[in-house]
Amino acid sequence: MTAVPTLPPDFLKSPQAVITWARSGWDRLVDDLPLILGRIAVASVLIVAGFLLLRLGRRIIRKWNQRTARKKETVIPLRQTRTLQSLLLSVFNYAMYFIIAASALSALGVDVRSILTLAGVGGVAIGFGCQTLVKDVVSGLFLWTDGNISVGDMVTVAGQTGTVESISLRNTVLRSLNGCLYAVPNGDIRTVVNMTAKARMAQVDVMVNHGRDLKKAIACIQDEMEKLKEKLDQPQAPQVLGVIGADRFAATVRIECPCKAEEVWALEREIRLAALNRLTQEELLP
């Protein structure tokens, strides 16, 4: 590609010189137009091909994960496999975006090696500015290798509670119970409360006023819990632990039932509703 003509020193004093310079630049542009269009076409083809490969690679990673998940005996547990898929997709996306950008710039005539050299020279300065990014990436790798948190777990991290939808190199994405999506930087995760690792315990406290038949109230609640087990098809009926406390107005009766983490709040609502309805029917509530 020919160089752009330089402006003559006295071009502002000579309109004819400006016209000559503009005409010369236009002629050179016309001469170089096929080369420019060719480079743009090659860059466009590389970008399209790169995104097709990106899509194909994502599909291959997902297919591999599905085949691994179907195996009855696998070295990696199912939740860990999903987390590994999330991390692999994140790494693959970043790598492909870099390759696509470098290929397109090279096709357009940009010296990518000089850009990489400049990045290497300024690597120290960039490193100081990217400390948080590096911390997020390293934390993301440790999250997977430690196995304390996996895709599909219900967790509390950085003050947010929800189901883990994905773990990338930088963020852990949670979906809260009310549908909100939280992207928590991996570097901000200090303590993980995993509510899916073991069975949770649905726990409901019911108040029975003094002056009512407490033994009858406990018996009625336990009978209602047996009915609730059949209604909800639970493996076991919620158990009435009895009176766990009292004040000058009422006694507190506790009901507990083991369940899955994602079912705890729904089960507590069902237990509370069934117990209060039964106490109302038996006229044990004011």
For the domain that residue 238 is a member of, what is the CATH number?
3.30.70.100
75, pLDDT greater than 50: no
- Same-domain pairing of 130 and 145: yes
Tell me, yes or no, whether 216 lies in a domain: yes
Whole domain around residue 235: which residue ranges?
A: 200-281
Q: How confident is the model at residue 286 (pLDDT cuts 50, 70, 90)?
A: low
Tell me, yes or no, whether 6 lies in a domain: no
Q: Cβ distance 164 to 155 under 8 Å?
A: yes
The reported pLDDT for the residue numbered 130 is: 58
- State which H helix or E strand residue 156 sits in: strand 154-157
Q: Which of 128, 130, 126, 158 is nearest to 143 (CA)?
A: 158
- Same-domain pairing of 186 and 207: no
Q: How confident is the model at residue 121 (pLDDT cuts 50, 70, 90)?
A: very low
Domain finish residue from 121, 156, 176: 121
Instruction: Give the number of domains in the chain.
Output: 3
- Amino acid identity of residue 133, one-letter, is L
- State which H helix or E strand residue 121 sits in: helix 112-121
CA distance 24 to 217: 100
Q: What is the pLDDT of residues 16-28, one digit of tens each?
A: 665 665 666 666 7
Domain finish residue from 169, 194, 219: 194
Domain finish residue from 74, 92, 121: 121
CA distance 39 to 162: 48
Task: For the chain, give the number of residues.
Answer: 286
- Same-domain pairing of 239 and 252: yes
- Per-residue HEC secondary structure of 187-218 comes to HHCCCEEECCCCCEEEEEEEEEECCCCHHHHH
CA distance 145 to 151: 13
Tell me, yes or no, whether 90 lies in a domain: yes
CA distance 232 to 212: 29
229, pLDDT greater than 80: yes
- Same-domain pairing of 133 and 116: no
* 34 burial level (CB within 10 Å; 0-12, 13-18, 19+): exposed
pTM of the predicted structure, to 2 decimals: 0.45
Looking only at the bridges linking them, the beta strands covering 154-157 and 160-167 are antiparallel
Structure tokens at 117: 């050299």
The reported pLDDT for the residue numbered 21 is: 59
